Structure 1
Amino acid sequence: MKSPTRAAPRMAAVMAALLGLLVPLLGLGTPAHAAPTGFRVQNGRLLEANGNDFVMRGVNHAHTWYPTRISSIANIKAKRANTVRVVLANGDRWTRNDTADVANVVSQCKRNRLICVLEVHDTTGYGDQSGATTLSRAADYWISIKSALAGQESYVIVNIGNEPYGNNNASRWTADTKGAIQKLRNAGLNHTLMVDAPNWGQDWSFTMRDNAASVFAADRDRNTVFSVHMYGVYNTAAKVNDYLNRFVAAKLPIVVGEFGFNHSDGNPDEDAIMAAAQRLGIGYLGWSWSGNSSDVQYLDLVTGFDPNRLTSWGQRLFNGANGIAATSKEARVYSGAARGTSPTAAQADR
């Protein structure tokens, strides 16, 4: 009879070997989260589905207030942009853009070989601005138009809500942003998500900067990009570089989702913003194509939606140093069609 004290280690070794074989197989059965099917974030970089690095170079377009100006999307592309950020409304403050309208916007972006960043503007300045709505309400809107977004993960980035807090109660941004991200993931939206900073997008309190890592970790898909809006707060190269460098060093994806060359709250350093974005390989989206109210009409890139009438700001953004014309690279998802043509039928239907 063999000694039980000698048999036990042998049995333990056999069991350990069997577990070593089974554990990897069990791990394949139920992944922690679905792998992104389109855009994804990896090591702080925004990548296309094929793994190609994508750097946004584009502008904002106020679609919700000018729904008949849909030709602006083609005109923006003609200026060499690779991305357009489209203003939408969920109906809480401005007229709701319905599913059919959003589907048409996405179709026009694809037809013109642009990546489409869609944002809900009704959240702007929540806590400061009368009528502004919550990120949770914005998330409900995205879920309600899910059919216009499904299958578009290689073409569409969902910017949950524009400038979702003003200067009051900005500390609530972290929990509310996590909640909105999780609501969208639980509803089955697999797109890359973009989240705007509080403080009217400018994050002067550094709420987004200091909590970005925990917000990113709260997304089970690890597929969230952060967006700062650079206006008067970013009036020196030192401020611009310090803010953006911190995200890059932390390997957290950051874009400048809005910026201008002037503003009522101060004079942003647009040269530093564009130079830093180019040096760091991060995206920027200038505000805005046309149609600004009279108090900030100087931020129009073209006059009266006419692509042949660039303003001085438009000349700077499109044709200046580190500008769109010199630095924009079209998304690789469109590489199956010749430049200047529509994507193939298979691409357009995806």
Structure 2
Amino acid sequence: MGRLPRIVIMVLLVAAVAGGVAWKVTDPGDAAVPAKADMGGPVEPRVDGNRLVDARTGDTWVPHGVNWSSFEYACTQGWGYSSITSAADADQIAAAIASWSVDTVRLPLNQDCWLGTRGAPVSDAETERTAEGYRAEVARFVDALHAQRIVVILDLQSRKRETEDEFGNIAMPDAGSIEFWRSIAAEYADDRSVMFDAFNEPYSRYDEVTASYAFELDWTCWRDGGCAAPVEDDKSELTGRTYPVQGMAAVVSAIRGEDAEQPIMLAGLDYANDLSQWLDHRPDDDQLVASFHNYNFQRCKDEACWAAEIAPVADEVPLLTGEIGQDDPGLPHLADYMAWADERGIGYLAWVWWDHADDPMALITGPAGEPTTPYGSTFRSHLLGLSGR
């Protein structure tokens, strides 16, 4: 379109103001274009082809944010539902996260704490903890994040160990996972600013004792279930006991059965790092998002692999990097991937928003959200740059 005379632009501006329409002009010689409406509240994600869009406007939405950890383990260790201490604390944490221009927070959850199974959540001498209390704490933090216009991803991350007050990550969903998702979906079906991450990191289990796989997950079982996985998590000693795996199709069906229509993230094999056959094995649903985890110590960790295996998936469906991080803060891995993903409209969520001085992947150094250096500061500066701040 050719340039409009300035007098025409002024007429348009006057008419727009009179009609209650907001306009913006970035250059006096350019035509006026409608500004994005301030809808209030967080984005309401919806899948449209290979994009996530805001259902309110149809605008493309690329998530950028962080993982917030502790709901997956505090409740099994007996010292709290999470590291949040009060409603005011929840509000302060949410505000600190928002100050980085974060628009999405992924909350890893514990299956047993949500359901009240295996003696979880664990009480102590002073406090009795219940599944109802755990759910209420999750809801309080979701509300605090929404108040900062942040989309929340609820993620099935862990289980309580059977015989000790600890947590772990099993290889694939089990029957309890289906119950978990029915309950989550029923509770959040009307919250359009929530997404679901069906299962954190599907994996095969190698047995160091026998030097062979005790469980080798393939794509058919990933989708349909039916194979037998170890009951122990990947940090516990194998006993030979197994459980029947529930596939991703069963998880999707459980969520949809509660009339929850929000996008569902499905992580690939090899701790969510392998998406090589994701497209061929995805369940039949039009609101699926491919979830990719990307650390410097995983197999698919460089641009050659991203181009060969990740980009083709992103060409077909929305792809979100549910976790990204590096165990050596001085590496260029984080910056390299963000630059690559930005060129392709792929979102990413950094691991992890917590203040642990001995963790190289800690993003912050205090409750106000001061970034670690260089890991946290690299991520924070990048997000602020994307938002123009």
- When normalised by structure 1's length, the TM-score is 0.70
Alignment-derived partner of residue 169 in structure 1: 216
Distance 1:213 1:287 in 2: 29
Distance 1:312 1:54 in 2: 28
2:64 counterpart (41, 57, 68):
57
Alignment-derived partner of residue 110 in structure 2: 89
Look up the equivalent residue of 1:257 and give its one-letter code. G
Pairing 1:312–2:374 present: yes
Pairing 1:299–2:361 present: yes
1:191-219 Cα shifts (integer Å, max 9, x gaps): 1111122212222xxxx431334415x22
Pairing 1:211–2:211 present: no
Change in Cα spacing, 1:146 to 1:329, as seen in structure 2 (3 Å) is farther
Identical amino acids, percent of aligned pairs? 23
Look up the equivalent residue of 2:61 and give its one-letter code. F
Task: Give the match's secondary structure for 1:174.
Answer: helix
Pairing 1:102–2:145 present: no
Alignment-derived partner of residue 252 in structure 2: 181
* Alpha-carbon contact 2:355-2:363 (below 8 Å) kept: no
Alignment-derived partner of residue 126 in structure 2: none
Task: Give the match's secondary structure for 2:270.
Answer: coil
Q: RMSD across aligned C-alpha pairs, in angstroms?
A: 3.0
Distance 2:340 2:254 in 1: 34
Q: CA deviation at 1:134?
A: 4.2
Q: Where does structure 2 lack aligned partners over 5 or more consecutive residues?
A: 1-42, 75-82, 122-130, 161-166, 206-214, 225-246
Q: CA deviation at 1:146?
A: 3.9
Task: Give the match's secondary structure for 2:181.
Answer: helix
Look up the equivalent residue of 1:240 and give its one-letter code. W
Q: CA deviation at 1:243?
A: 2.6
Distance 1:225 1:164 in 2: 16
Q: CA deviation at 1:53?
A: 0.8
Change in Cα spacing, 1:73 to 1:191, as seen in structure 2 (3 Å) is same
1:46-69 Cα shifts (integer Å, max 9, x gaps): 112131111011011014132336
Q: Where does structure 1 lack aligned partners over 5 or more consecutive residues?
A: 1-36, 331-350
Q: CA deviation at 1:166?
A: 4.1
Alignment-derived partner of residue 183 in structure 2: 144
Alignment-derived partner of residue 353 in structure 2: 289
* Alpha-carbon contact 2:182-2:255 (below 8 Å) kept: yes
* Alpha-carbon contact 2:202-2:272 (below 8 Å) kept: yes
Alignment-derived partner of residue 208 in structure 2: none
* Alpha-carbon contact 1:82-1:328 (below 8 Å) kept: no
Distance 1:43 1:281 in 2: 13
Q: CA deviation at 1:312?
A: 1.5
- When normalised by structure 2's length, the TM-score is 0.63
Task: Give the match's secondary structure for 2:349.
Answer: strand
- The structure in which a higher percent of residues are strand is 2
* Alpha-carbon contact 1:40-1:192 (below 8 Å) kept: yes
Q: Which has the higher contact order (CA 8 A, sep 6+)?
A: 1
Distance 1:237 1:43 in 2: 24
Distance 1:134 1:146 in 2: 19
Change in Cα spacing, 1:88 to 1:138, as seen in structure 2 (3 Å) is same
Look up the equivalent residue of 1:230 and give its one-letter code. N
* Alpha-carbon contact 1:100-1:148 (below 8 Å) kept: no
Change in Cα spacing, 1:293 to 1:164, as seen in structure 2 (3 Å) is farther
Task: Give the match's secondary structure for 1:230.
Answer: strand
Distance 1:285 1:45 in 2: 17
Change in Cα spacing, 1:299 to 1:291, as seen in structure 2 (3 Å) is same
* Alpha-carbon contact 2:110-2:159 (below 8 Å) kept: no
Distance 2:183 2:276 in 1: 30
Look up the equivalent residue of 1:307 and give its one-letter code. G
